[in-house]
Amino acid sequence: MNIKIAQALLPLALAACGGPEKKADDDKAAMQKGEAAKPADKDAVTLDAQQIADAGIEVARPITGGMAGAIDVPGMIQGDPQGVQVVSATLGGRVVSLTRNLGQTVRQGDPLAVIESREAASLKAEVEAARARADLARSIHRREQRLFSERVSPEQDLIAARTAAVEAGIALRLAQQQLGATGGGGGAPNRIAMRSPISGRVIARPATLGQAVEANAELYRIANLSTVALMASLPPADAGRVRPGMRVEVTAGGRRQDGRVTFVSPVLDETTRLVQVIATLDNAGGRWRPGEPVTASILLPAMAGDRSVAVPSTAVQSIENRTVVFVRTPTGFRAVPVRTGRRNGDQVIVTSGLVGTERVATTNSFTLKAELGKRGEMEM
C-alpha cells in the first residue's frame, strides 16, 4: 500500500520541481548571471579605430636606447650675425626719398633711399667723360689698325693707339666702380640710390625725409631672421659633454622647437668662467625674437648598450595615485602602471612597466584618462 502511494505521488513531485529540463535551464541562467556579475577590467577603455581617429589620439612605439640625459640651461635668442645689415649713406647729401617703413619686407638689391648729392653729380659726370674718352680711344685704335694694314702708318703709332685705348677702358671701369660703390641709380644726375644688401625686414629707420646726412650715416637696418641663434653658457664640466650636432629643445611661453648645437667654445669666458654654446633654430615663421630669454635642454646621446625606454611626456598620466601609460589593445586601450625616471626634454624615461615593443597613446591621452574617470563616477 505504501509503495503504491509513493508511486502515485512521484509524478506530482517532479511536476512541482519542473523536471530535469527546468533544473538545467536554472543552472544555465545562474551561470550567465554569474558571468554578468563578473567585474570588467577597470583599466580598459573600449574604442574602435574610428573613435580613436575622431579623438585625435596618435599611437607610437616607445623610444629604446634613446638619451643619456639632458642639460637644462637658460639661454637668449640672438639674430644671426650675418642676418643683420645696416644700410648707410655712401655719400653726404640730402635724403629725398625713403621707400620702406618699419616692418616691411625687402629683397636684396631693392632701392631703399635716394640721396641728392653734388658728389654724386661729379661721379656720374666722370663716368660720362671716361666713356667718351674710351670711345674716342677705341676709334683711333681702329683707324691706326686700318692704316697699318695699308702700310700707311708705322707700327709704333698702332702700339700707341692700342695702349691709349686700353688705358681709357681702365679709366672708364674705375669711374663706373666708384659710382657703383655709392649705390648708383637714383634717376637725376645728382641723385644716388641706397640699396638693400640682403633680403629681410626693416627693423630700424633712423633717417627722415629731407634730412641732411653725412657719409656713413645709418639710414636703415635690415634683418633676415629666417634663422636665429640660441646663446647659452655652461660650466666646463657640462660643456665637456656637449658636441656640435647635438639636439637642443628650446621652450618659452608655451612654444617649443628643436635646434642643433653648432658651436662649443674651446675657451672660457674671462668674466664668467663659463663656456659659450651656440645652437641654430629655423625661424622662418617668425616664432622667436632676438633678445628673448628661453630655456634650452641639450639632449645627450645614450651610451652604447643602453636599452632604456622613453615615451613622450604627453603619454604619461596620473590616475588614482598611479602613473600610467595607455597601451593599445585589440579593443582599444589599457592603462598600464609604470615607474618613471628622469626627463630628457619632452621625453620621460620609463624604468619599469614597458618593454619597448608596445604601442602607446602619445597624444590626447588625457581623453582616455577622462573616460576612465567617467566610468568610475558611474560605478559609484
Answer yes or no: do 313 and 375 share one domain: yes
CATH number of 162's domain: 1.10.287
DSSP label at residue 297:
E
Residue 350 falls inside a structural domain:
yes
CA distance 326 to 317: 8
pLDDT the model gives residue 35: 44
**H or E element in which residue 143 lies:** helix 118-149
Q: Reduced to 3 states, what is the DSSP secondary structure of residue 369? A: helix
Range of the domain at 91: 87-117+195-222
C-alpha cell at 312: 613622450
Q: What is the dihedral of CA 28, 34, 37, 39, to 10 degrees?
A: -130
Give me Rg for the CA atoms of the chain.
Answer: 42
CA distance 287 to 256: 10
Answer yes or no: do 335 and 367 share one domain: yes
Answer yes or no: do 97 and 51 share one domain: no
The rounded average pLDDT for each run of 10 residues, N- to C-terminus, in the chain (380 residues) is 46 48 49 47 86 89 69 88 84 90 89 86 84 92 89 87 91 84 71 88 90 90 89 91 90 88 93 93 87 88 66 89 92 92 76 86 89 68
From 301, 333, 351, the end of a domain falls on: 301
For the chain, the domain total comes to 4
CB atoms within 10 A of CB 318: 9
CA distance 344 to 350: 11
Answer yes or no: do 100 and 205 share one domain: yes
CATH number of 311's domain: 2.40.420.20
Answer yes or no: do 177 and 152 share one domain: yes
